Amino acid sequence: MTALAFRRDSKPDFVQEDFARHRGSLPGAGLAWLDTRRRAAMDAFAATGIPTRRVEAWKYTDLANALESELEPATPFSGDLDEENAFAASDAHLLLVNGFLHRTRPVDGLDIVDLGALDADAPDWVKESLGLMAAGRDSPLGAASLALMRGGVAVRVREHATLHVDFLTPPHDRGAVSHCRVLLVLEEGVRLSLLETHRGEGVHQTLANIGMELVLKPGARLEHVRLQAEASKALHVTSLGARLEREAEYRALYAALGAQLSRLDVNVQLAAPGAHATLHNVAVLNAGIADVTTVMDHATPHGTSRQLFKSVVGGRGRSVNQGRVVVREGAVKSDSHQLFKALLLSPRAEADAKPELEIFADDVVCGHGTAIGSLDEDALFYLRSRGIAENEAKGLLIRAFLEDAIEGLANEAVHEALWQRIDASLTSLEAGQL
């Protein structure tokens, strides 16, 4: 297989070659502050290259091996999106296609900057934050998304607002990779309800490589719902860094509902006292890999975090949940809990779960748990003996399994949309291997 070519990390890969060839023509090239950050990010990427299982944080998810061929950089979409792709209809405030900002609807209280057109006029709030959370040692793809950033969007939230960001990957005629970044800065005390959707179609392999940075100023509150459902040949990596200042609150519900391989790397810094993060993840798949890997960094006292990950895996699907909780020296009264649960619906389904705790402070409460199992036969028989047919009974039990990860984390409309999408995934599970 050609993929083997990428396994030798001594040799530059197509990501590094892209940088060497095009660094002078990337958006904002020549801006000293950005050039420096891109250069550092490419160095960080080059230390591992495209990750194989030999990279510890990627040991369950072999991205290099999943690549079928070298990928060309994606270009902005030039045709008529709505006409050519029925599925492309979007009423989102921000529509990104192939990682480029394609359409914007103005929203009161938001400042919006197109990162694909960065120049010397870039506002200070962009310069202050863009890319600072990109180059973690375990996040080579996140680093690449900055080094090779060709598009994306920066948003400053000055007033309470609701925002929908829609990412679309239309069909390509050959393998393509997009590198894109999103920066969200929530000013002090504001609330944002963010819906993030990822959709894609096509028969050729695409890699959407997205770097996200969320900056929550003191007392800011972000409610984040992320819905990722892409084509069966899609590769998807999002590297998300969130920095929470004093009393800031981040509540997230992530849903992984389809791709050949999806990886969500989350790094949350509880950077000032009293910050709180809730991360819930739901994965429903019957093929491919859905990987969510988190680092919850309790850096200061009185931080609280809750993580609940639930996977329903059928067919030959595989879910990966890794969660590292770090409580740094002095971060007393930290309170953290994480729970990973997976439901396996077929003999070839697989779930890997790896919780980790690194505690360097006293007087903390940290808990974690893992449970992987199959549907409860007693419950299934009970429902069937009441007249509910096998597949409907399984659907009820699966919904019940997912319910507590979804309840309370989305407004009603989003909640409905999410259940619709999950029900569609469950239906395809039932049709297949359930």
Partner 1 sequence: MLEIDDLHVAVDGKEILKGITLSVPAGEVHAVMGPNGSGKSTLSYTLAGREGYEVTSGRIFYQGEDLTTLLPEQRAAKGMFLALQYPVEIPGVVTLTFLKTALNAQRRARGESELDAMRVLRLVREKATALKIPEDMLKRPLNAGFSGGEKKRMEMLQMALFEPKLAILDETDSGLDIDALKLVAEGVNALREPERAMLVITHYQRLLSYIVPDRVHVLAAGRIVKSGGADLALELEKSGYEGVVEAA
In the complex with partner 1, which residue's Cβ is closer, 30 or 369?
369
Look-up of token digits 């096509």: 202
**Pairing label, strands 276-285, 249-258:** parallel
In the complex with partner 1, which residue's Cβ is closer, 94 or 398?
398
Tell the smallest beta-carbon distance from residue 403 to partner 1 (Å): 4
In the complex with partner 1, which residue's Cβ is closer, 24 or 387?
387
In the complex with partner 1, which residue's Cβ is closer, 224 or 280?
280
In the complex with partner 1, which residue's Cβ is closer, 119 or 377?
377
Nearest to 223 by CA among 183, 163, 270: 163
10: alpha, beta or left, given left = phi > 0 and alpha = psi -120 to 50?
Answer: alpha
- Distance of alpha carbon 16 from alpha carbon 394, whole angstroms: 47
Report which residue type is found at 139: S
Tell the smallest beta-carbon distance from residue 386 to partner 1 (Å): 4
Q: Sheet containing 335-344: which strands, arranged edge to edge?
A: 100-104, 94-97, 161-169, 191-200, 221-229, 249-258, 276-285, 304-313, 335-344, 365-373
Sign (positive or negative) of CA dihedral 240, 75, 73, 199: positive
Contact assessment for residue 227 and residue 196, using Cβ atoms and an 8 Å cutoff? yes
The pair of structure tokens assigned to 126 is 């962009």
- Distance of alpha carbon 285 from alpha carbon 278, whole angstroms: 23
Nearest to 200 by CA among 170, 172, 180: 170
Query: CB count, 10 Å around CB of 73?
Result: 17
3-state DSSP assignment of residue 135: coil
- Distance of alpha carbon 362 from alpha carbon 29, whole angstroms: 47
Tell the smallest beta-carbon distance from residue 318 to partner 1 (Å): 24
Look-up of token digits 């050729």: 204
In the complex with partner 1, which residue's Cβ is closer, 184 or 343?
343
- As a whole number of Å, the CA-based R_g of the chain is 21
In the complex with partner 1, which residue's Cβ is closer, 96 or 406?
406
In the complex with partner 1, which residue's Cβ is closer, 360 or 381?
381
In the complex with partner 1, which residue's Cβ is closer, 191 or 399?
399
Tell the smallest beta-carbon distance from residue 312 to partner 1 (Å): 13
Tell the smallest beta-carbon distance from residue 407 to partner 1 (Å): 9
Tell the smallest beta-carbon distance from residue 434 to partner 1 (Å): 15
**What are the residues binding partner 1 (CB under 8 A)?**
376-379, 381-390, 392-393, 396-397, 399-401, 403-404
Report which residue type is found at 431: A
Tell the smallest beta-carbon distance from residue 389 to partner 1 (Å): 5
Tell the smallest beta-carbon distance from residue 394 to partner 1 (Å): 12
Nearest to 298 by CA among 251, 333, 250, 322: 333
In the complex with partner 1, which residue's Cβ is closer, 154 or 342?
342
- Distance of alpha carbon 40 from alpha carbon 36, whole angstroms: 6
Tell the smallest beta-carbon distance from residue 262 to partner 1 (Å): 25
Tell the smallest beta-carbon distance from residue 379 to partner 1 (Å): 5
Contact assessment for residue 200 and residue 206, using Cβ atoms and an 8 Å cutoff? yes
In the complex with partner 1, which residue's Cβ is closer, 82 or 404?
404
